[in-house]
């Protein structure tokens, strides 16, 4: 079966894609040792932040608009400094001297305590309208302007962070193997699904103190990745097998 692009995609435009920049970490004394893994990246739903697992347990949170300015994109769409990629230090790239306003996203790092395999941003603001019915009463209260980052770790733990403050909010510990992938429902419910090498997917309700509401055991091998449908009603997942597993409808367990 031949592959084809959707009508909305112009195949000619794909060939015009331009390299605009590269984020690099300078060498450090321990870079020759194990731990220099840069396995995952993620964008915040509102485009405010870019998260990058840059190795040695560290996740860097970068204000994306500021990052694009540093790439110096020209009027013709090409980067003016593509031959000189932006290099990020392990400290604040500005040496900590730049004055930040209260509402301005701040570039900073988070030490997750173990190798980071998965990243996902979550927000209580829906990305799209959903037809799913969610539970209305929860003990763990999130503000409407709060942005969360979920990190899946080598030791099987999932740590939930406040993006703006870097504060650890929740530590989820039910997986028995490393957490390979994380995904939030796009309806603002803060339902999180984790995929693990323990052959399971687990569904967490972050509004209910991170309560694990379901274990999905359809896979016979490691689970690599999962994704929600746009209305949050269907979850699909793939792993070290030859099939796509689906759960529908997700919230009516």
pLDDT in tens, 194-239: 999 999 999 999 988 899 999 988 888 899 999 999 888 899 999 8
Reported as a single tens digit per residue, the pLDDT across 41-63 is: 999 988 899 999 988 789 999 99
Q: What backbone torsions phi and psi does residue 67 show, to the nearest 5 degrees?
A: -65, -45
Contact 47, 64 (CB under 8 A): yes
Which has the higher per-residue pLDDT, 58 or 75? 58
Task: Report the sign of the C-alpha dihedral through residues 86, 87, 89, 94, in that order.
Answer: negative
Reported as a single tens digit per residue, the pLDDT across 18-43 is: 777 777 775 655 555 555 677 889 99
Domain annotation for the chain: domains and CATH numbers: 34-247 (2.130.10.10)
Q: Indicate whether 72 pLDDT > 90.
A: no
Reported as a single tens digit per residue, the pLDDT across 153-189 is: 999 999 999 998 899 999 999 999 999 999 999 888 8
Does the global pTM surpass 0.85? no
Return d(Cα 199, Cα 197) in angstroms, integer: 5
106 band by pLDDT with thresholds 50, 70 and 90: confident
Contact 22, 85 (CB under 8 A): yes
pLDDT of residue 45: 87
Return d(Cα 12, Cα 3) in angstroms, integer: 15
Burial class of residue 96, CB neighbours in 10 A (0-12, 13-18, 19+): exposed
Average pLDDT over residues 80-94: 42
Contact 223, 237 (CB under 8 A): yes
* Average pLDDT value for the chain: 76
């Amino acid at each position: 079966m031949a592959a084809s692009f959707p009508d909305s995609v112009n195949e000619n435009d794909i060939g015009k894609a331009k390299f605009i920049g590269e984020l690099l970490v300078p060498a450090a004394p321990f870079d020759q040792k194990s731990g220099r893994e840069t396995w995952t990246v993620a964008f915040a739903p509102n485009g405010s932040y870019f998260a990058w697992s840059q190795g040695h347990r560290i996740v860097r949170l970068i204000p994306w608009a500021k990052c694009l300015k540093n790439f110096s994109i020209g009027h013709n769409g090409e980067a003016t400094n593509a031959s000189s990629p932006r290099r990020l230090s392990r400290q604040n790239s500005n040496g900590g001297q730049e004055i930040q306003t209260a509402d301005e996203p701040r570039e900073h790092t988070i030490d997750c305590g173990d190798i980071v395999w998965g990243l996902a941003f979550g927000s209580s603001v829906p990305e799209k309208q959903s037809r799913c019915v969610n539970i209305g009463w929860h003990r763990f209260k999130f503000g409407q302007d709060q942005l969360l980052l979920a990190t899946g770790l080598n030791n099987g733990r999932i740590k939930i962070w406040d993006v703006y403050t870097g504060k650890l909010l929740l530590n989820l510990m039910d997986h028995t193997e490393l957490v390979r992938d994380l995904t939030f429902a796009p309806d603002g419910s803060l339902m999180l699904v984790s995929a693990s090498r323990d052959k399971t997917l687990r569904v967490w309700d972050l509004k209910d103190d991170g309560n694990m509401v379901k274990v999905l055991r359809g896979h016979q091998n490691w689970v690599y990745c999962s994704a929600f449908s746009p209305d949050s009603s269907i979850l699909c997942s793939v792993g070290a097998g030859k099939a796509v597993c689906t759960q529908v409808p997700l919230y009516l367990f």
